[in-house]
Amino acid sequence: MLFYERSITAVLIIFKSLLYLRPLNRNKIVQHEFSIQVSPKTAADTTLLKQKIAKLNALQVNEITHVQVLKRSIDARQIAIKINLKVRVYINETFIDDPIQLPQYPEVSRANEVVIIGAGPAGLFAALRAIELGCKPIVLERGKDVRARRRDLKAITRDHLVNEDSNYCFGEGGAGTYSDGKLYTRSKKRGDVNRILKLLVGFGATGQIMVEAHPHIGTNKLPDIIAAMRNKIIAQGGKILFETRVTDIQIKDDAIVGVVTKSGDVIETNAVVLATGHSARDIYELLHRKQIHIEAKPFALGVRVEHSQELIDQIQYKCATRGPYLPPSPYSIVKQVKGRGMYSFCMCPGGVIAPCATSPGEVVTNGWSPSKRDQPTSNSGIVIELRPEDFKNFQQHGPLAGMYFQKSIEQKAWQLAGETQRVPAQRLIDMVGGKVSQDLPETSYKPGLTSIDMGTVFPSFLHQILQEGFKAFDQSMKGYLTNEAVVHAPESRTSSPVRIPRDRKTYEHVQIKGLYPSGEGAGYAGGIISAAIDGEKCVEACIRNIKLI
C-alpha cells in the first residue's frame, strides 16, 4: 500500500510539472518561457514571483536575474482567483530591455498622393501606412484636433449644445479617442494585431497593452498618443486638414476624380480611402443620393446600464472587496431572449457614461474609462440584435432604413427627456417591472436624467426583450438586477447600420474605381484595433491597385 501511494504521488508530481512548465536546465538554458498560475498578490510582486518560479524549478532566487511577463489574464471562475501569466525567465544573464521602435518613415512631401477622409483609427493608421510605403497622405477631417475637441465636449455636457462636426464621434482620433480606448478584438484573423499595438506603444502607449489579455489605454491617455501620430504624419510631409467636411464626391466614368469640401474647395484625386466612422450619416445619404451602391447592415441597439463598481466586483470576484491586487472587474454576458441575442457591449469598469449625439435634436449614450479605471461606477451597453424586418416602417429609405430606425429612437428619447441632452432613465428593477421610477440617484451621466418608462422610448418588442433579458442576466450574475442600477437610453451607435460594399481582394468599391471604403463606417470593423488594421489594408490595396509608387 505504501508503494502504491508513493507511485501515485510521483505520477502527480510529474503530471504537474508537465502541465505548468518544463524543468529548467540551468547549465544549458539562460532563459525560458512557460505559463504559470499564481495568486494576485504574487503576480503583483516581483520578489514573490521570483520565489515562486525558483521553488517550482529547484533554483536559487538569486539565479533568476529577471522575469519578463509576456501575457497576463485573470481567472475568476473559482473562489480563489488566480492570475495566468506567460513569463520569460532569465537565469544568470543580464536582462537588456529592447524598447519598441517606430518604423523608419520616409519623407513624402513630394510623393504621389492618396486622399483619406476621416482621422479616426482607420484614417490615421492608413495615413501612417501610406507614408511607410512612400506615399503622401492628405487626411480630411470634419472635426477639430484632439485638444480643441474638448471645448465642444464640455458644451454638450454643460450647455446641451451639439456641434455636428466636433463631438464625441467626430474629430481627430474619432469616437475611440474619448470613449475608453479598448484595444482587444475578436478579429485576429483580419490582420496583425501586435503590429498595431506596437505602433501605439511607439507613439506613447504603455507597454502593458502588449501584455494584458484585454488591453486598454484610457480616455485620459489617448489624446497625447493621437497628437503624436498626427505630428509624425505632418513631420514626414503628409497633410491633415481639420474642420474640412467632405460634402461631395466627383465621379467620371464610374471612377473617383475628386472630392468637394464644405467650403467649396475641390481636391482632385483618383484614390480615396473612405474612413468616416459609423456616425457619418451625411456620407451615407450622399452615396445613396448619387446612386453609389450601399447596403443595409445588421446592428444592435439598446440601453446603457450603470452599477456601482463595488457591486460588480463582488459579483464577479465573489468576495466582499477585491483588495489591492485586482483591477476593477469587467463583465461580459450574452443571452438568447425571445429568439434574439441580447448582450453586453463596450463594458467600462470604473468608468462613466457620456453624451454622444452628433446632431441637435437627438440623445445618444456611450461609455468610457480613464486609464486607472478608478471611478466608483461601471457601465455597459446592453443591446439587442436587430433584423431587416424591424425596419419595415422605414422601407422608403431603402438601404438607409436601419439608420432612420436608429435615428427615430434617438430623436424620440430627446423629446421625451425634455429636448436637451438629458436622457430617459429608469431604475433597473422598475424598468423590468414596467414601473416609472419615483426618483433617480445621481449617475455619472452629467447632462442629467429624466424619469421615463422605457416602454415609451422603444418599440414594444425591444422593450419586452430588455425586460426578460435582465431577468436572465441576474440568473448568471446574482445581484445584477437591483434598483440601485440605472438604465440610460439609448445605446444606439454600436456599429454602422450601413455597409459600403467592396471587392474582397482589391478592397475597392464594387462600383466606383478608386474608392476604398474602410473601417467601422464602411461596416468592416468594430473597434480601434480592427479599424486600424482595416485602414492599413485599404491603403495598401489602394497604392497597389493604382500603382502610386
Mean pLDDT value of segment 63-84: 94
Instruction: With cut-offs at 50, 70 and 90, classify the pLDDT of residue 219.
Output: confident
Q: Which residues contact 77 (CB under 8 A, 6 or more apart)?
A: none
In this predicted model, what pLDDT tens digit does every residue of 349-375 receive, in sequence order? Answer: 999 999 999 999 999 999 999 989 999
| pLDDT value of residue 177 | 84
| pLDDT value of residue 179 | 67
C-alpha 463/C-alpha 308 separation (Å) is 24
| pLDDT value of residue 21 | 45
The predicted model scores a pTM of: 0.92
Instruction: With cut-offs at 50, 70 and 90, classify the pLDDT of residue 24.
Output: low
Mean pLDDT value of segment 483-492: 98
Q: Which residues contact 389 (CB under 8 A, 6 or more apart)?
A: none
Mean pLDDT value of segment 342-351: 96
| pLDDT value of residue 11 | 39
Q: Spell out the SS3 assignment of 139-193.
A: EECCCCCCCCHHHHHHHHHHHCCCCCCCCCCCCCCHHHCCCCCECCCCCHHHCCH
Q: Coil, helix or strand for 258?
A: strand
pLDDT > 90? residue 524: yes
Question: Residue 491 forms beta bridges with which residues?
Answer: 302
pLDDT > 70? residue 19: no
Q: Which residues contact 428 (CB under 8 A, 6 or more apart)?
A: 305, 470, 481, 482, 483, 484, 485, 486, 487
More confidently predicted of 17 and 273 = 273
Buried b (16+ CB within 10 A) or exposed e, 15-47: eeeeeebeebebeeeeebebebebebebbeeee
Long-range contacts of 255-261 (CB under 8 A, 24+ apart): 255/512, 255/513, 255/514, 256/512, 256/513, 256/514, 256/515, 259/115, 259/117, 259/140, 261/140
Instruction: With cut-offs at 50, 70 and 90, classify the pLDDT of residue 185.
Output: confident
In this predicted model, what pLDDT tens digit does every residue of 363-416 receive, in sequence order? Answer: 999 999 998 999 999 999 999 999 999 999 999 999 999 999 999 999 999 999
C-alpha cell at 156: 454638450
Mean pLDDT value of segment 423-440: 98
C-alpha 64/C-alpha 253 separation (Å) is 68
| pLDDT value of residue 199 | 97
Closest to 383 in 3D by CA, of 399, 368, 366: 366
C-alpha 496/C-alpha 526 separation (Å) is 9
* Proportion of the chain above pLDDT 70, given as a percent: 93
pLDDT > 70? residue 327: yes
| pLDDT value of residue 187 | 58
pLDDT > 80? residue 442: yes
Instruction: With cut-offs at 50, 70 and 90, classify the pLDDT of residue 178.
Output: confident
| pLDDT value of residue 546 | 84
Domains of the chain, each with CATH number or no CATH: 31-91 (3.30.70.2700), 113-294+500-545 (3.50.50.60), 298-491 (no CATH)
Instruction: With cut-offs at 50, 70 and 90, classify the pLDDT of residue 16.
Output: very low
Mean pLDDT across the chain: 92
More confidently predicted of 426 and 25 = 426
More confidently predicted of 517 and 527 = 517
pLDDT > 80? residue 428: yes
Mean pLDDT value of segment 70-76: 95
pLDDT > 80? residue 253: yes
Mean pLDDT value of segment 72-85: 94
| pLDDT value of residue 131 | 98
